[in-house]
Structure 1
């Protein structure tokens, strides 16, 4: 049994929504029930740069290696990583500071290619200074744009957060919103994106501003029973529908975790 398969077994035992945060102090866990933020703390001390979930397992990019959890975080033998994600399935993708991108499958890493300054990995796409790159078999194919900070796939449609706007892949890359976007996330029929001072959500075909109860810069979002987001200074946010809240009001709740240097969020 591979390390990731073992970690999936542990993940299947959880009965609550658990969010994992990549922070400068380590991998943090936040337990959420409905719109209520419960216990939180550090699960593993390290310089965590990125985090992703893979079918119940948790993969973390650190300054020493790519690690797999969630019970005990073990090295996967990639080396220092700056970004981790998935390859449109159960395989792990990782990127390092040199721009090397590799795929982890059946206990082995396969190099796929090199990009210029890798920033993020998601659903078979890599965001980098020299554009969006798509995993094509055992190689990378250039998909366009430049100055890309983050990528996500919403209902099969790639989205890209770049230095000059938020883009959707249609008949070429279509700019949906101006601004220096640094994060984009999608899942469960939702999509959100953020600049340093605004947080937006996709409502049908349009992007609209989200009125949050805090002023910090959102760095990532995730999805489960509710919508989750986190700011760089460690404030965790839950956006809940009325039926998931005790008072039936819905809306956004927040809680400061006291963990600065947050880089990414993933939800099990």
Structure 2
């Protein structure tokens, strides 16, 4: 009976760690890892970079953990939240601690159904661009990962000098193009009814734009710009910024990319969210790609 009561309490009340992460706006996985490293540097630099995996963090925040994490994790968490012990952080919240707010709030349908971690939906790329101009997405980014066909959002819609500024400032940029000389891009051209190699030409042009930029950079900055190609049936255009914001477009039959619906997804460490799904898709494509 006692065990059942404890389980019900954990189900009804979030643990204190989850509440505090929301209060500090540290609930996204990338932000949590960054704050974890800051605390680790203060107490023991050897612990930097040893944050929990995304799955581990979800188990911590869901209250499914039996006992406490390893002692090193406990030390860092206690440094992140001075005055709180690890035991307190993994206990249900007390009455005087406010319930966490969901930030950002999930998109909700009329019937009240939540769309996981999807935070915006647009009917086309142009509608998305009006609400999320490239400058708003990229200007302060520390990491940009893009996979798709020609990657016009990065190569045509964002100025070269701004890309240079990012790379020279330490930003890592990975661009994965559909191979302009491969079979998959020819199949896509046939599907969109192009007869003059339009997509192949545009993609090759965009790759050349980035290569020209790369050759003009100092060696350290040039290493931060990675360009690769893949030759597989194209299903999505994916742009991930700082491992927090993901912009996704499906490729529809016989429809140009600019006419496809666009989804904005914000990582909230939810296991049922879509962010980890598209993060894995990008990673899988990148691992199978060929550097240019």
Whether TM exceeds 0.5 here: the answer is no
The alignment's TM-score, normalised by the length of structure 2, stands at 0.23
* Structure with more helix by fraction: 2
Give the TM-score normalised by structure 1.
0.24
Which structure is richer in relative contact order (CA contacts within 8 A, separation 6 or more)? 2
